[in-house]
Amino acid sequence: MILVWLIAIPVAAGLVAWPLDRWNAKLPPWISLCAVTADLAVVLTQWVAHFSEISVTAHGPWLSEVHQEWIPGLGISFHLGMDGLSLILVTLTALLGMVSVISSWTEIRERVGFFHLNLMWILAGITGVFLALDLFLFYFFWELMLVPMYFLIALWGHQNRLYASIKFFIFTQLSGLLMFVAILGLYVTHGVNTGTYTFDYMQLLGTTMSESMSMMLMFGFLIAFAVKLPVVPIHNWLPDAHTEAPSPGSVILAGLLLKTGAYGLIRFVIPLFPSASSRVAPVVMSLAVVGILYGAIMAFAQTDFKRLVAYTSISHMGFVLLGVFAWNELALQGAVLQVVSHGISTGALFFLAGSLQERIQTRDIDRMGGLWSSAPRLSATGLFFALASLGLPGLGNFIAEFLILLGSYRVNATITVLAALGLVTATVYSLWMIQSIFYGMNKEAWKIPDLSIREMAVMSLLIICLVWLGIYPQPLLTTARQSLEHLRQAAALSQTVNPSQSEQTGLSGTIRDRFEEDSDGIRGTR
Q: Render pLDDT for 410-445 as a digit per residue (tens, 0 to 9).
A: 999 999 999 999 888 888 889 998 888 888 788 787
- The span from the CA of 183 to the CA of 304, in Å, is 39
Could you tell me if 467 and 345 are in contact, meaning their C-beta atoms sit under 8 angstroms apart? no
Provide the pLDDT confidence category of residue 514 given band limits of 50, 70 and 90. Answer: low
SS3 of residue 230 by DSSP: coil
What pLDDT score does 503 carry? 40
Cα dihedral 130, 136, 140, 143 sign: positive
Distant-in-sequence, close-in-space partners of 72: CB < 8 Å, separation ≥ 6:
none
What does pLDDT average to over the chain? 89
Provide the pLDDT confidence category of residue 447 given band limits of 50, 70 and 90. Answer: confident
pLDDT at 33 > cutoff 60: yes
Q: What is the CB-side half-sphere exposure of residue 87 using CA atoms within 13 A?
A: 31
> What is the mean pLDDT of the segment spanning 42-71?
73
Strand partners, 78: 68
Q: Render pLDDT for 368-380 as a digit per residue (tens, 0 to 9).
A: 888 888 889 999 9
Cα dihedral 519, 520, 525, 526 sign: positive
Residue 55 DSSP label = P
- Distance between first and last Cα of the chain: 38
Length of the chain counted residue by residue: 526
pLDDT at 520 > cutoff 60: no
SS3 of residue 82 by DSSP: strand
Peptide bond into 233 cis (omega under 30): yes
Strand partners, 68: 78
Backbone angles phi, psi at 510, to 5 degrees: -70, 165
What pLDDT score does 461 carry? 94
> What is the mean pLDDT of the segment spanning 396-410?
95
- The span from the CA of 106 to the CA of 338, in Å, is 30
Instruction: Using alpha carbons, list the distances in angstroms from residue 216 to 170, 315, 442.
Output: 22, 28, 56
Q: Render pLDDT for 165-214 as a digit per residue (tens, 0 to 9).
A: 999 999 999 999 999 999 999 999 999 999 999 999 999 998 889 999 99
pLDDT at 59 > cutoff 80: no
For strand 64-71 and strand 76-82, is the pairing parallel, antiparallel, or unpaired? antiparallel
Distant-in-sequence, close-in-space partners of 181: CB < 8 Å, separation ≥ 6:
220
